[in-house]
């Protein structure tokens, strides 16, 4: 931009302000994009080799997955919601869906953590080679 292009100092000043505003908006958008692309500091990456992607889970969500993994390993894939809510450290009566909703781990629900075969139960997505011929349910704690 040549100074001779501006007949008055006021027009030069206005153009400089517009350029500064455009640059501020560009930098703010880059910061928003970096924030979207990186997980929040309170989550960890969890992946299973047979699932298509890793999942970013909060500590409570990781506890749910841990309990479901143990249960699957013991050939008792369905776990009652109350046990999972207690393992996550949430208040009684909270639904598992509520613990995942609106978080980076939300995509794990229905891909990694699946509804069980009976009401109010959940299970981990099984590896392809496991045939669930002896499905049992872990009853709720009283």
The closest of 138, 82, 81, 91 to 114, measured between CA atoms, is: 81
Mean pLDDT score of the chain, rounded to an integer?
Answer: 83
Strands 137-138 and 78-80: parallel
Residue ranges of the domains in the chain? 10-34, 44-138
* pTM to 2 decimal places: 0.62
Q: Give mean pLDDT, residues 103-114.
A: 88
Residue 135 and residue 41: Cα distance in Å, rounded?
37
Contact 92, 83 (CB under 8 A): no
Residue 61's CB is within 10 A of a number of other CB atoms, namely 27
Cα-Cα-Cα-Cα torsion 18, 21, 25, 28, nearest 10 degrees, comes to: 160
Question: What DSSP string runs through 13-79?
Answer: HHHHHHHHHHHHHHHHHHHHHHHHHS--TT-EEE--TTSSS-EEE-HHHHHHHHHHHHHHHTT--EE
| Predicted local distance difference test score (pLDDT) of residue 89 | 93
Is a pLDDT exceeding 70 seen at residue 139?
A: no
**pLDDT by residue (tens digit) across 49-97?**
888 888 888 899 999 999 999 998 898 999 999 999 999 999 999 999 9
The pLDDT assigned to 38 comes to 57
pLDDT band at residue 35 using 50, 70 and 90 as cut-offs: low
């Amino acid at each position: 931009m040549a100074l001779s292009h501006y007949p008055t100092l006021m027009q030069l000043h206005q153009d400089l302000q517009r350029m500064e505003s455009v640059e501020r908006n560009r930098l703010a958008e880059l910061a928003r994009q970096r924030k979207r692309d990186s997980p929040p500091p309170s989550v960890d990456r969890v992946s299973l080799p047979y699932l298509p992607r890793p999942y970013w889970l909060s500590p409570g969500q990781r506890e749910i997955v841990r309990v479901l993994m143990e249960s699957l390993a013991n050939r008792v894939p369905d776990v009652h919601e109350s046990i999972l809510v207690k393992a996550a450290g949430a208040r009684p009566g909270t639904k598992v869906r509520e613990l995942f909703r609106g978080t980076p781990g939300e995509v794990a629900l229905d891909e990694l953590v699946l509804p069980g075969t009976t009401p109010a139960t959940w299970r981990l997505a099984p590896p392809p080679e496991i045939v669930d011929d002896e499905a049992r349910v872990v009853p709720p704690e009283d």
